[in-house]
Homo-oligomer: A and B are copies of this chain.
Amino acid sequence: MNFASDNVWGACPQVMDALQRCNADAERSYGGDRWTEHAETLISEVFEREVEAYLVTTGSAANALSLSAITPPYGAVLCHPASHIMVDECGAPELLTGGAKLVPVEGEGGKILPGGVAETVAALDHPPHSVKASSVSLTQSTEIGTLYQPGEIAALSELAHGHGLKVHMDGARLANAVAALGLAPAEITWKVGVDVLSFGFTKNGALAAEAVVFFDPALAEDFIYRRKRAGHLWSKGRFLAAQAVGLLENDVWLANARHANAMAARLADGLKAVPGVRLSSPVEANELFPIIPDALHRRLQAAGAVYHKWPGEDAGPGEVMIRLVTSFATAQADVDAFVSLAREGASSGAA
């Protein structure tokens, strides 16, 4: 019953298998190998167009390097105050952009809104005293497990582009969004104005792999230098590429995401029926943020359930907000066991 994060689980079998397969022979190093070429082709296929894709190791690297390509050192990245780049990457964007500023944009339901972006752009229009508004970053699915609809992204992009800003999408959980929305990846990325994407594989079932995907090749012009100087060019590039291949071939990535989403929905359904438990935001992907009674929380932990308490202002007295994350590896039995525990806890008065 581990719902602490999608990254507490290992890699899916297809990724492990690809690693084995790619290990057969000598290959050119530093990304000149056949597996890297194949991965790049597969990524272009996913997006139904030619893209410039660059594999890196971590989501923080993908995000910060993406931002460095569209934000000058004297620039500003507009983003959600609770976004991963803002609060969870220890200043990686600041480092890799050379000192750009992340400026919070108010939003709703985990999402930033065009109005908030417009306000922030206006507030920063005071050159050279203010940093230069240069890019907008949005997260899909969001940090609270909600989803941007294509129209919402299009509205943000249009506004951003109108002010000369580029649009980045943190897609650490893009797979979950694609699976949940039932749309082609193109429909929620370049077709609605996204310029550069962090395409996440790690949470989806890889060991440690992400792709920086440029829909505008001009933005990628010197990206090989940026990746290398951050120490993110693997000498044995095949091993990074094989992870992407293992997930993208046969749409394993979508199957993995669908399973994770289904487990989250099942958890949500189960918990909704438990007296004293409520969900602080709609469950649209693979994360849920229930607010539960303190007593139930203690009982669940005592029973061995693993998850994180989560900061937030929605919990009332005697309550606690928790985060539950499901993954490709989440067992239905664990979901059901957790729900049962919660139900028992509630009926025994723990709620």
Contacts and interface: CB of A to CB of B under 8 A. Distances in A.
Contacts of A57: 57, 208, 231-232, 234
A311 B227 CA distance: 25
A101 B27 CA distance: 31
A148 interface: no
A88 B128 CA distance: 8
Nearest to A12: B23
A185 interface: no
Interface of A: 2, 4-5, 7-11, 16, 19-20, 22-30, 56-62, 64-65, 72-74, 87-92, 94-96, 98-102, 123, 126-132, 202-203, 207-208, 222, 224-236, 238-240, 306, 311, 329
Contact of A225 (B58, B74, B225): B74
B92 A228 contact: yes
Contact of A74 (B7, B203, B222): B222
A211 to B, nearest CB: 14
B89 A129 contact: yes
B74 A90 contact: yes
Number of this chain's copies in the assembly equals 4
A201 to B, nearest CB: 11
Given A57-B234, A228-B92, A231-B56, A27 B10 contact: yes
A131 B27 contact: no
B130 A87 contact: yes
Contacts of A203: 235
B231 A58 contact: yes
Contact of A92 (B87, B100, B230, B235): B230
A168 to B, nearest CB: 15
A100 B94 contact: yes
Contacts of A235: 5, 7, 58-59, 202-203, 208
6 A-B pairs with the lowest CB-CB distances in the bound complex, closest first: A61-B231, A74-B225, A98-B98, A7-B235, A10-B23, A128-B228
20 contacts: A5-B235, A10-B25, A11-B236, A56-B231, A58-B231, A58-B232, A58-B233, A58-B235, A61-B231, A62-B231, A74-B90, A87-B129, A89-B129, A90-B130, A91-B131, A98-B99, A129-B228, A207-B234, A207-B236, A208-B239
Nearest to A20: B16
A91 B95 contact: no
B11 A239 contact: yes
B224 A127 contact: yes
A8 B26 contact: yes
Given A98-B98, A98-B99, A236-B7, A228 B90 contact: yes
